[in-house]
Structure 1
Amino acid sequence: MQLIKQSNEVYVAPGPVAAIGAAEIALLKEAVDASPRGRVRINLHADGSAPLHEMFIAIKPGSYIRPHKHPAKSESFHLVHGAVDVVVFDDAGNVTQVVKLGQPDGGDGRRAFYYRMSEPLFHTLIIRSDVLIVHETTNGPFDRSATIFAGFAPEENAPAAEIASWQAALVDRVQEQA
């Protein structure tokens, strides 16, 4: 399939029919290494106004996804490659749940390969593999201003050392709960 490159982090699958195969997954794995933020996606929806958004997303360990929630939206992940912990928080920043996702064909059977969040709960990811690739589905349209970012976590433009320290502390908190 011929993808349209919109930026170093976004590719779009044109047309009314889209297919993702080994070549597109290989592209994601290669492109994520060059991404400054450690994430790249292929959008299967035409634009941000689409009522349904589907994306294949590659994310490297250490990529900071600030805890956030989406009022009036659901989201789901179907894991394609790798392993991840989806960490869910209450409004004060306490970890309330950890959803462990892994590949259905190569894991130890203790990780699910799909999750869905149907309420606006703060969440982030801990990548547990060399690269994570998920198929994410959410309802549109996309409105960045409608995303609520957690005040208990560093902002995305915080110093790298502050973000790394927060992420390391979160990994420790999740390990303690296991």
Structure 2
Amino acid sequence: MKIIGKSIVAEVHKQARVSERLRMNYNIHESLDEDIHKLLNSLQPETIMPIHRHLHPSKKETFVLLQGAIEVLRYDDNKTIVERHLMSSESGNIICEIMPGEWHSLRVLESDTLILEIKKGPYIPFQDIDLLK
């Protein structure tokens, strides 16, 4: 059994605040080769999330908002925003599923925003084809 509580969340937030990328994840899965990846992401407002996609047909990406606020953005091939959704306790939007092939990014609106991210493994680093430049 694995329990994740306030002390782990506080440590992940602390690491995100001092990280060059202004975000930090805590892997719940034990190996990058596992079939399902579950991780906490602590996000700070100035973090840069590149516009990207996951081309593999089974690579849906699900975010569950646990704390804070984010704006989820979907783009077309010309970097034009075609859809945006506020995720916050006030908006009531707390879960977002990104489909394979969708260009997307996040904009962090509050310090110490925390999401649970769930996606199919294994981990595959971004390739040039996965980033919208």
**TM-score over 0.5 (shorter chain):** yes
Greater relative contact order (Cα 8 A, min sep 6): structure 1 or 2? Answer: 2
- Taking the aligned partners of 2:5 and 2:68, their CA distance within structure 1 comes to 16
Scaled by the length of structure 1, what TM-score is found?
0.69
Task: Look up the match of 1:168.
Answer: none
- Taking the aligned partners of 2:105 and 2:98, their CA distance within structure 1 comes to 12
Instruction: Return the letter of the residue paired with 2:7.
Output: A
- Taking the aligned partners of 2:43 and 2:2, their CA distance within structure 1 comes to 21
3-state DSSP of counterpart to 1:68: coil
Which of structure 1's runs of 4+ aligned residues deviate more than 4 A? Answer: none
Task: Look up the match of 1:84.
Answer: 70
Q: Which has the higher strand share?
A: 2
List per-residue Cα deviations over 1:40-80 (Å, max 9, x = no partner): 11101112111100000101111111100001210001111
Question: How far 1:33 moved relative to its partner?
Answer: 1.4
Task: Look up the match of 1:120.
Answer: 101
Q: Percent identity?
A: 20
Q: Aligned ranges for residues 1-178 of structure 1 at < 5 Å?
A: 17-72=1-56, 73-103=59-89, 107=90, 110-146=91-127, 148-151=130-133
- Taking the aligned partners of 1:140 and 1:130, their CA distance within structure 2 comes to 28
Question: How far 1:145 moved relative to its partner?
Answer: 4.1
- Taking the aligned partners of 2:98 and 2:113, their CA distance within structure 1 comes to 19
Greater Cα offset, 64-73 or 110-119? 110-119
Gaps of 5+ in 2: none
Question: How far 1:90 moved relative to its partner?
Answer: 0.8
Question: How far 1:111 moved relative to its partner?
Answer: 3.8
List per-residue Cα deviations over 1:100-143 (Å, max 9, x = no partner): 1113xxx2xx2401111123211111111122110000001111
Gaps of 5+ in 1: 1-16, 152-178
